[in-house]
Structure 1
């Protein structure tokens, strides 16, 4: 029998995994922030693309809330637009640009990924509490094959607040891998209202925790 956890109650296992990921990400973040060209160049964070120049302050603000259950979140260096494609709930093609005007928590998951399954109820709870016109959890399933397994999983676990986003080609994962943002699953990105990457993490998190909600509030700028 599947042992499902109630929404809003992160499992001890998930908290431990997220905590370890946070320590490792913190070490990586320190390394990245202190590594330069040696030629007196400005920090990477300041070298934002023109489309995302206004995102620098938001990156800094969100970084201050990358702690506790979401300590594994690492600031984008630099913040930049990402053009990612996948299918929407109606099966039509979507791009991250289609979410303009919303802060987006983009999460890649698969039914065969244990940590993904563990954190999905928390993502569902976050969408229920904070989702709306200005924010959405966009959980993109990357199982290959047909829709049977991912839809069965969502139904079995009572995931009823998330839109059904899908990419059976795994193209979105491969695109993030080329960007140096994806090393495994789950992968989670925070993108601002203009589609600019603010921060990213590999590994699970307790997305229904106060730490996660504070980070999202900072990302929304409210």
Structure 2
């Protein structure tokens, strides 16, 4: 097959994926998604539920080793900066039902919000390349940082970035 034909096939394949959203990048508005709150079983909109708040959207899975290693750092960051306004929306992409995900994470005793997207739509909406993947969203709903892989969320530099976002008013640039 010629290079032109292969390129055309690739474009056609992507066109059928149903991904119509703009690319997710730093400075862009965080896309909305509907996920299930594992504490209540309610479906919620990320934009409606977390709008106007500094939010760390963390996409993870129970079968992911680096995700498991990252959970304590996320929880520590939340316990330190949650009282100052930080929200963490940890979204599991496991295909298992929510009860299995809740049972798996229960021993970690996390304080942040545990959400579930059994369909995997969040991966397409946020154009993820794997898990864990995190998106730090400011009060205006803009993505300020994208992190691929597990991160040391309790490091001085990561805490400083979050604290700076928390200190800004929603109208600040």
TM-score (norm 2): 0.75
Counterpart position of 1:87: 36
Q: Distance in 2 between matches of 1:82 and 1:108?
A: 14
Q: Distance in 1 between matches of 2:44 and 2:141?
A: 13
Counterpart position of 1:197: 143
Matching of residue 106 in structure 1 with residue 57 in structure 2: yes
Give 4+ residue runs of structure 1 displaced > 4 Å after superposition.
none
Q: The residue matched to 2:94 in structure 1 has which SS? A: coil
Is this contact kept in 2: 1:82–1:197, CA < 8 A?
no
In structure 2, stretches of 5+ residues that fail to align are: 1-23, 169-173
Q: The residue matched to 1:164 in structure 2 has which SS? A: strand
Q: Deviation of residue 159 (structure 1)? A: 2.8
Is this contact kept in 2: 1:121–1:159, CA < 8 A?
no
TM-score (norm 1): 0.59
Counterpart position of 2:46: 96
C-alpha change, 1:87 and 1:132, in structure 2 (3 Å) is farther
Q: Distance in 1 between matches of 2:158 and 2:72?
A: 14
C-alpha change, 1:152 and 1:144, in structure 2 (3 Å) is same
Q: Number of matched residues?
A: 143
Counterpart position of 2:8: none
Is this contact kept in 2: 1:190–1:219, CA < 8 A?
no
Is this contact kept in 2: 1:139–1:165, CA < 8 A?
yes
Is this contact kept in 1: 2:90–2:112, CA < 8 A?
yes
Q: 1:171 aligns with which of 102, 121, 128?
A: 121
C-alpha change, 1:81 and 1:176, in structure 2 (3 Å) is closer
Counterpart position of 1:66: none
C-alpha change, 1:217 and 1:76, in structure 2 (3 Å) is farther
Q: Deviation of residue 152 (structure 1)? A: 2.2
1:18-97 aligned within 5 A: 76-88=25-37, 89-97=39-47
Q: 1:139 aligns with which of 81, 87, 90?
A: 90
C-alpha change, 1:118 and 1:93, in structure 2 (3 Å) is same
Q: Distance in 2 between matches of 1:190 and 1:116?
A: 16
1:153-193: CA deviation from partner (whole Å, max 9, x where unpaired): 2222x23312221111111112112xxxx111001001111
In structure 1, stretches of 5+ residues that fail to align are: 1-74
Q: The residue matched to 1:144 in structure 2 has which SS? A: coil
Is this contact kept in 2: 1:102–1:133, CA < 8 A?
no
